[in-house]
Structure 1
């Protein structure tokens, strides 16, 4: 009995000594919740995940705080000034993507989003150049988006003004834009393989069980052998990769890459050109993961933004009518609208920006990793620390926005009604890892939304007073399922 008391006392003493050692070693780190043995301080952030979880933690500990996940320091950065200091002023030091167990398992350090160093720089640069060659920012790519907009209008029209759920139709349209860019063709909405792809993207993008995610990050050697939502997520990611591999094989069989028409063609041609380059990272596995990144990053965020847009415009019919009136006053009913025309529509532009600001659809920006010890605002951020930029706090910063939690297009208008760009508008991130497809997303949202608004007036179904503005909280913030009536406008 005495031995057990002695052992217990010794263990407690060691834990206390380890705790005191950590306090001393980390005394220059940003403040944060007490770090408990094994789990660290994650209990404070994960005990009750809500829309403002990060904001509450940051209010208590400051705009730069530290939450320990096991023995890993995760630095939370909130508010415009702190985010600007980290992501823009120290862009190089925070340009790496963390290789946590979960992110490493799905990304395998390939492609664009989850790679680092030479691989990341080469894949990102090539993708940017190729998107421009394929017509990004020109009428060629806009034509493909307009085709999807017309399909979307026809799908909505079939409901004949009766209540409809727009979610799947919007996701199909956005996914088909990416299919056209990467594969060179769109899919029929009835195509079974295409619907499996859309379903897999949806599962992969909605890994909302934060507890399971955190458990995998802390105990991957255990979790990989246990059932759970993480298994479904891995299967979904693998399905997207398999879909990409099949399309690549078709392109190789057709030998179409000598006259490239899509992203796969250009990439296969680059593989051939770089065959003797020892520094080349161009290979089929990186191509597969680049395609995977386009779908995972490009489909969910854009389609969710459009779903929030229709919800907000239905809840605010006065704003919807004002947007429609501006479009009709400028263009009438017969002209086709191009993305460049957004300059002629300041109110419409302001409404689109405000929808993305007020309903930012991610819990936080893409995580970064510190490449060296950095001093920020007097705190030491150690090499290897994970950085979580709370872009939501920037977009809702009460020091920068007049009515931060409201839906107010005037945030982006001056007193004369002219559109005003705001440096605090960072829904696509900032710094070295700013969203690769930001311009594509902007064009899609503008063309798809204006096409729908010119064709329909969106109304609440009979007996419904208001659509819920509250999100389903996870790592992505989706609106609750809803139905609206797309009432055709008189021609």
Structure 2
């Protein structure tokens, strides 16, 4: 395991305190027939066989020895690893109900306590997901109204890019503001000005949390949460940021309560407040203030980070492969032209652009290990029996890089999503939003945003790197929860 970047004090304390794991995490063993895997050490499990700076790489490497389905021990917690398209499909798609639980994710659980859509389980998750899907649909998710909202925000982003006047800049903050404003309009009922200090601070907290959770510290916290609570390190910043996010959301919920009209809800928060009032006499209701705050956080975090990161990675990839960017520009010119705003209807007439977007998402595999799943009952799987509650790690990166599904998967090639006639072709192994019952709630919105934001930017600008294309580094700055690209600057030149 590569421990560079960890302080000697932190490692010393980790070793000294590891004996607490037996007491704090005891009693987790369950009856069943788990897949074979590397023999764990007492207390620390397979920690020293993993590079916590590239966890998914370590897990994929172990699969070459133990097969596509095996057991790894993260501390004292056994987790079943699924590697490759076939194993992930058989579990998350073919046995979708059995694998629809949310697995342990301590860095999030400390904040959410199992509330919200993403990290709840059982009946609470079913009720909240059903309510959220219905409400988001009523507020335009997947409809022309949300398309217009994205188009409007894309034009705002174009204007901000124009203000750079061809000088180098880092697109991180501008892209985050644009993407966040789309989900803000649905959840909070309004967009924020790009210079709103509260809004900018909120986005800083989101970006910092996504980065830290994708580092050594974030991964180590998920393995030894109680011990890491006692150790110094940047992981503590995650929870400070979470509290600031909680305050931001709670403040806006209180504003909504002051002028709520139950007969005319304005946004997601209003609808949730109406449901809270309807069920206030039910002590078992899942609709309460804490669940509202956590659900809103889930929507905001999920609707901002992965999409904005994908767009930033898109800029890097298109600059590294200028021949690909040139073909996209050509297709935009032929189908859309220089003046009309891109719309979703254009997508079916732009197979190459569509293939490029899919290939970008496959290539970067934004959440390389997905989010952990858990089986909802004692589950027969292949020749094993996974006890109810068993943690499952679906290696989405291994699906996107499966050579049985993609020719030369380590190369960036839009041809992976084009047939012999250069028409767009989908692939069942395309899983950036995770398949099955736990598919990302905002998958449809993300697809719309990536297409409309990217085509609008490329309609107006040529992306100019500050180094030779061959020198552009596509390896992640850090990888854990997500693959986070290196910070970069570029120029946007008017076309």
Q: TM-score if structure 1 supplies the norm length? A: 0.90
Matches within 5 A, 1:253-402: 253-277=258-282, 279-402=284-407
Residues 38-76 of structure 1: per-residue CA shift (max 9 Å, x gap) = 111232123663662222121221111111123321111
Distance 1:57 1:84, change over 3 A: same
The answer as to 2:128 corresponding to 1:123 is yes
Calculate the aligned-residue CA RMSD, in Å.
2.1
Distance 1:363 1:142, change over 3 A: same
Matches within 5 A, 1:92-103: 92-99=97-104, 101-103=106-108
Residues 392-417 of structure 1: per-residue CA shift (max 9 Å, x gap) = 00011011101201111111111112
Once residues 301 and 427 of structure 1 are traced to their aligned partners in structure 2, the CA distance between those partners, rounded to angstroms, is 10
Of 141, 145, 150, which residue of structure 2 is paired with 1:140? 145
Matches within 5 A, 1:91-490: 91-99=96-104, 101-208=106-213, 211-213=216-218, 215-217=220-222, 219-277=224-282, 279-461=284-466, 465-475=470-480, 476-489=482-495
Contact 2:52 2:220 in 1 (8 A): no
Alpha-carbon shift at residue 33 of structure 1 (Å): 1.6
How many residues align? The count is 466
Alpha-carbon shift at residue 349 of structure 1 (Å): 0.7
Alpha-carbon shift at residue 363 of structure 1 (Å): 2.9
Greater Cα shift, 306-315 or 461-470: 461-470
Greater Cα shift, 240-249 or 464-473: 464-473
Contact 2:147 2:448 in 1 (8 A): yes
Contact 1:51 1:473 in 2 (8 A): no
Contact 2:461 2:494 in 1 (8 A): yes
Q: TM-score if structure 2 supplies the norm length? A: 0.89
Alpha-carbon shift at residue 248 of structure 1 (Å): 0.6
| Rg larger in structure | 1
Contact 1:413 1:420 in 2 (8 A): yes
Contact 2:151 2:341 in 1 (8 A): no
Contact 1:258 1:265 in 2 (8 A): no
Alpha-carbon shift at residue 219 of structure 1 (Å): 4.6
Greater Cα shift, 45-54 or 81-90: 45-54
- Structure 1: state its 5+ residue gaps: 1-24
The answer as to 2:76 corresponding to 1:71 is yes
SS at match of 1:388: strand
Once residues 468 and 406 of structure 2 are traced to their aligned partners in structure 1, the CA distance between those partners, rounded to angstroms, is 34
Greater Cα shift, 428-437 or 162-171: 162-171
Distance 1:97 1:312, change over 3 A: same
Q: Which runs of 4+ in 1 moved over 6 A?
A: none
Once residues 250 and 449 of structure 2 are traced to their aligned partners in structure 1, the CA distance between those partners, rounded to angstroms, is 26
